[in-house]
Amino acid sequence: MEAIAEKKSYQVDSRGYYGNFGGAFIPEMLYPNVEELRENYLSIIAEPSFQKEYNDLLRNYVGRPTPLYRANRLSEKYKTNIFLKREDLCHTGAHKVNNTIGQILMAKRLGKKRVVAETGAGQHGVATATVCALMDIECIVYMGELDIERQAPNVARMKMLGAEVRPATCGSRTLKDATNEAMRHWINNPVDTHYIIGSVVGPHPYPDMVARFQAIISEEMRWQLKEQTGKETPDYVVACVGGGSNAAGSFYHFLDDENVKLVAVEAAGQGLTSGHSAATTALGKPGVLHGSRTILMQTEDGQVVEPFSISAGLDYPGIGPQHAYLYDSGRGIFMSATDEEAVQAAFELTRFEGIIPALESSHALAVLGQLGASENENVILNLSGRGDKDMATYMKYID
């Protein structure tokens, strides 16, 4: 008998893997917490009462569906049809709240009394503090001591929202140290605390759970594009990648449409060969980071290399395991943009369309001229956030 070829899947398998990437590489002390989540997350998400509350909040609190906007002047310049998915119009200014809404409802159903999170630039911390205020749940956000100094406005927002911001004082006193502290806190408070991770990273089931909460982005893209062009699938979907949550959400409902090119854009920092970069797939190798096997930037002997990007949200030494698999399998097209190219693209969008984008999203905008998209093709670019938080950086380029 002929063997039936198994349909190639880009989704997580029952063991928590995407090809060779993923899994749950965690200290034994963390096992009960992660296991409780793994056993329950799919059935909780499927509950009609969960779906109703999640969708009501996305609609009436976050402001979904976010528009799919045809950028006419940009389309004219690049001689193709460019649509912007306006995640910058979400409450709190970026896509991150789609995930924190989902996870706070998960925490409630698991009977948790407290939430802990890590944050780098403070965007995920603000999105977490926001939903904790909404649900009257205690919120502790770990943040590197150095980042607390650099990101004062977001620290103030979190405090005003009622969160306790705890400094991580070890190591480089940035995101990776805050992540370690948050995990330590979770180990010590396993029964009553839920850990809200901010991207499609961490041990299984986090990458899959976060991707499901962000998948609303591509679900809306499909019907919105159909409404406007008569076609449900674009030729390209483009998104920036830090850990990869806005990209995972943008790709989710197109993964099996092999004619849709999925373009992930990493931060090249000061240049791929400059030693100050965050372009993980260009510079990294397989290894284990924050609980999963993925691709990360590391030295010969496996030490994590400090990443660098002008954009705090892309300043991460790894990518989520699903992205590692999309890269490895060739399903995803991985590109990069430098600090300089991203800033230029931010000014271009602002002057062409009257939209000031986040520095993260500007990396995706920066590759529009390199896609090779033709006049009849449709490109959807996920505009992950708005640029208000980056004004201090942009101001340096205005004379």
Ligand X SMILES: *Cc1c(COP(=O)(O)O)cnc(C)c1O
**Shortest distance in whole angstroms from residue 246 CB to ligand X:** 3
Instruction: Find the binding residues for ligand X in span 31-90 (CB under 6 A).
Output: none
**Shortest distance in whole angstroms from residue 270 CB to ligand X:** 19
8 Å CB contact between 96 and 102: no
By CB under 6 A, name the one of 193, 361, 362, 378 that touches ligand X.
361
Q: How many residues does the chain have?
A: 399
Nearest CB to ligand X, comparing residues 96 and 187 = 96
Q: How far apart are CA 397 and CA 391, in angstroms?
A: 10
94 binds ligand X (CB under 6 A): yes
144 binds ligand X (CB under 6 A): no
Q: How far apart are CA 11 and CA 256, in angstroms?
A: 10
DSSP H helices in the chain: 31-46, 48-57, 72-78, 96-109, 123-135, 145-150, 152-160, 175-188, 206-214, 216-229, 245-251, 280-283, 321-329, 339-353, 359-365, 391-395
240 binds ligand X (CB under 6 A): yes
129 binds ligand X (CB under 6 A): no
**Shortest distance in whole angstroms from residue 241 CB to ligand X:** 5
Q: How far apart are CA 124 and CA 197, in angstroms?
A: 9
Nearest CB to ligand X, comparing residues 142 and 187 = 142
- Which residue bears the tokens 């430098």? 338
Among 119, 183, 112, which Cα is nearest to 146's?
119
22 binds ligand X (CB under 6 A): no
Nearest CB to ligand X, comparing residues 71 and 97 = 97
199 binds ligand X (CB under 6 A): yes
> Interhelix angle for 31-46 vs 206-214, to 10°?
30
**Interface size with ligand X, residues (CB under 6 A):** 18
123 binds ligand X (CB under 6 A): yes
The residue range among 48-56, 106-114, 174-182, 235-243 that interacts with ligand X, by the rule CB under 6 A, is 235-243
The residue range among 43-51, 149-157, 285-293, 356-364 that interacts with ligand X, by the rule CB under 6 A, is 356-364
130 binds ligand X (CB under 6 A): no
At 165, give phi and psi (nearest 5°). -100, 115
Residue 79 burial (CB count, 10 A): 12
Structure tokens at 23: 């899994």
The residue range among 25-33, 49-57, 324-332, 358-366 that interacts with ligand X, by the rule CB under 6 A, is 358-366
Nearest CB to ligand X, comparing residues 89 and 358 = 358
Cβ-based neighbours of 13, under 8 Å, separated by 6 or more: none
Counting beta carbons within 10 angstroms of the beta carbon of residue 146, is it exposed (0 to 12), middle (13 to 18) or buried (19 or more)? middle
269 binds ligand X (CB under 6 A): no
**Identity of residue 338:** T
246 binds ligand X (CB under 6 A): yes
245 binds ligand X (CB under 6 A): yes
Burial 39-77 (b: 16+ CB within 10 A, else e): eebeebbeeeebeeebeebbeeebebbbebbebeebbee
The residue range among 51-59, 181-189, 219-227, 238-246 that interacts with ligand X, by the rule CB under 6 A, is 238-246
Q: How many H-runs (helices) and E-runs (strands) does the chain carry?
A: 16, 14
119 binds ligand X (CB under 6 A): no
| Residues carrying an active site annotation | 96, 118, 384
**Shortest distance in whole angstroms from residue 51 CB to ligand X:** 23
**Shortest distance in whole angstroms from residue 365 CB to ligand X:** 12
Residues 294-323 as x/- pattern, contact with ligand X by CB under 6 A? -------------------xx---------
Q: How far apart are CA 330 and CA 187, in angstroms?
A: 37
Rg (CA), the chain: 20
Nearest CB to ligand X, comparing residues 187 and 337 = 337
At 84, give phi and psi (nearest 5°). -105, 125
387 binds ligand X (CB under 6 A): no
Q: How far apart are CA 161 and CA 141, in angstroms?
A: 12
244 binds ligand X (CB under 6 A): yes
102 binds ligand X (CB under 6 A): no
Q: How far apart are CA 377 and CA 236, in angstroms?
A: 8
Chain residue at closest Cβ approach to ligand X: 385
Residue ranges that bind ligand X, judged by CB under 6 A: 94, 96, 123, 199, 240-246, 313-314, 358, 360-361, 384-385
